[in-house]
């Protein structure tokens, strides 16, 4: 009797690492000075919209383990992006909101046009229902891990 393979944190980490390596290679090969961390911030702000309280966005970024930054790293990352003109209102103690600027939105559009053709085939070979299931499973993993980290019961 064969058993279905078990999804583990290692599988998730390896997938994240492979996709990040592809992103970084693509950015470098196409002459972008934007880093994979900056790309993640641009995507997060485009998806989530402006964040009213800058300290909350700083904490969110510091909590994203795949970025490998702490609170000081989040401040430096956002400060650098503000200096490039990609985001506004990013000072941790500022009035906010943290938001994409027109230049940040334009950079993200250009990045997505470059990265999309390379990443689409990664997911394009999968059944849409399987992708939806994977999305739900990963969202559940994220929420459960947050609860356990906070000492809450599942």
CATH architecture of the domain 31-121 equals Orthogonal Bundle (1.10)
pLDDT at 47 over 80: yes
> What are 56-110's pLDDT values in tens digits?
999 999 999 899 999 999 999 999 999 999 999 999 999 999 999 999 999 999 9
| Long-range contacts, stretch 103-109, CB < 8 angstroms, 24+ apart | 104/42, 104/45, 105/46, 107/34, 107/42, 108/39, 108/42, 108/43, 108/46
Residue 118 has a pLDDT of: 84
pLDDT at 1 over 70: no
Lowest model confidence (mean pLDDT) among 40-49, 57-66, 116-125, 139-148: 116-125
Domain ranges of the chain: 31-121
Lowest model confidence (mean pLDDT) among 1-15, 56-70, 124-138: 1-15
Residue 40 has a pLDDT of: 96
């Amino acid at each position: 009797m064969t058993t279905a393979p078990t999804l583990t944190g290692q599988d998730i980490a390896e997938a994240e690492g492979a996709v990040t390596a592809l992103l970084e290679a693509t950015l470098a090969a196409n002459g972008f000075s934007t880093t994979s961390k900056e790309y993640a911030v641009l995507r997060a702000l485009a998806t989530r919209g402006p964040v009213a309280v800058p300290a909350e966005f700083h904490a969110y970024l510091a909590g994203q383990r795949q970025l490998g930054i702490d609170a000081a790293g989040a401040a430096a990352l956002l400060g650098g992006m503000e200096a490039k003109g990609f985001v506004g209102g990013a000072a941790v103690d500022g009035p906010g909101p943290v938001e994409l600027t027109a230049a940040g939105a334009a950079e993200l559009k250009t990045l997505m046009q470059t990265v999309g053709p390379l990443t689409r085939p990664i997911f394009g070979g999968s059944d849409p229902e399987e992708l939806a299931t994977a999305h739900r499973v990963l969202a559940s993993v994220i929420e459960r891990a947050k609860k356990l980290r906070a000492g809450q019961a599942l």
